[in-house]
Amino acid sequence: MRLALIGFGGIGSVVVEKLRDDASLQFVGIGARPAQHERIRALFNDTPVFTAPGALIRLKPDLVVECASHSAFREYAEPVLAAGIDLIAVSVGVLADADYRDRVLTTAKGSGASLEIPAGAIGGIDAIAAARHAGLTRVTYITRKSPRTWMGTPAESMLDLSIVSEPVMFFDQTAERAALLFTEKANVTATLALAGIGFTATRVQFWADPGVNKSIHRIEAAGACGTLSIDLANDVAPGGKASLQTAMSITQAVRRRVAVLRI
């Protein structure tokens, strides 16, 4: 399978490490910032490095993987899907914008391409997606991160992170609000909303907790199938701030495309 990757940061570089020796995959192009081009060429020799959707599409990949940013999703998603190329994407918080979401999905439907959203940093998405067919009445996502991890986000305008000495919940709103406000920190809330009961019905709570040194995720759901409760405590990828679980989720999504046994 001909594969192109958008993003070569903390997540993308780990995905490449896990997939580059897979004989069933061929990297035909990597999109990245100019500062990363030299490193990419050192690893891949003749593999093209692209900086625009047109250049990507001319490489004729079978599958494109986006693991870069909201701005990259907005730049590449519609052109890729319009060209009939399947897309796996993790920067899906942008889909909290209903008008934009409709436009992206309409584009995919028109060309016959698919947009796949891997679970990312969380789990239980398969159970949520299945249970919605019987009816879900409640879905809540709760995350706890250290005050330091929330720095550089809108959390700084909600509390003084420098003096947090005990766990404090500083955000309790809809998945729509979380995804639109916290952008890069809340893609999983969009994934959960799309899998379950939607952006306005899904509840999101953010905590600053000085007692944790991992990203703690909890999902709670209830409906006709019963109840669900899942907890994860994620480590970051080696040498960076990105979630290792997210990188492995992308790796699994790609490998599932070429697998005989799909789980």
Q: What is the mean pLDDT of the chain?
A: 94
Tens of pLDDT, residue by residue over 27-62, are: 999 998 888 888 888 888 788 999 999 999 999 999
Instruction: Using the predicted structure, report yes or no on whether residue 157 has a pLDDT greater than 80.
Output: yes
Instruction: Using the predicted structure, report yes or no on whether residue 1 has a pLDDT greater than 70.
Output: yes
* Contact (CB, 8 A) for 214 and 143: no
Same fold, 2-120+244-258 and 125-234: no
Written as one string, the DSSP assignment of the chain is -EEEEE--SHHHHHHHHHHTT-TT-EEEEEE--GGGHHHHHHHHTT--EE-SHHHHHHT--SEEEE-S-HHHHHHHHHHHHHTT-EEEES-GGGGGSHHHHHHHHHHHHHHT--EE---TT---HHHHHHHTTT-EEEEEEEEEE-HHHHTTSGGGGTS-GGG--S-EEEEEEEHHHHHHHHGGG-HHHHHHHHHTT-TTTSEEEEEE-TT-SSEEEEEEEEETTEEEEEEEEEPBPTTSSSBHHHHHHHHHHHHHHH-SS--
**Domain chopping of the chain, boundaries:** 2-120+244-258, 125-234
Instruction: Using the predicted structure, report yes or no on whether residue 115 has a pLDDT greater than 90.
Output: yes
Both tokens of 88, joined, read 């796996």
Q: Regarding beta strands 63-66 and 86-89, do their DSSP bridges make them parallel or antiparallel, or are they unpaired?
A: parallel
Query: The tokens 């994934």 sit on which residue?
Result: 191
Written out in words, the top-level CATH class of the domain with range 125-234 is alpha beta
Tens of pLDDT, residue by residue over 197-231, are: 999 999 999 999 999 999 999 999 999 999 999 99
Identify the pLDDT of residue 236: 77
d(CA 243, CA 215): 8
Second-level CATH architecture of 2-120+244-258: 3-Layer(aba) Sandwich (3.40)
Instruction: Using the predicted structure, report yes or no on whether residue 237 has a pLDDT greater than 80.
Output: no
Catalytic residue set? 217
Instruction: Using the predicted structure, report yes or no on whether residue 239 has a pLDDT greater than 90.
Output: no
Identify the pLDDT of residue 38: 84
**CA-wise closest residue to 116 among 174, 83, 60, 77:** 77
pLDDT band at residue 125, thresholds of 50, 70 and 90? Answer: very high
Burial of residue 87 (CB within 10 Å: 0-12, 13-18, 19+) is buried
Q: What is the pTM of this model?
A: 0.94
pLDDT band at residue 238, thresholds of 50, 70 and 90? Answer: low
Identify the pLDDT of residue 240: 61
Identify the pLDDT of residue 249: 96
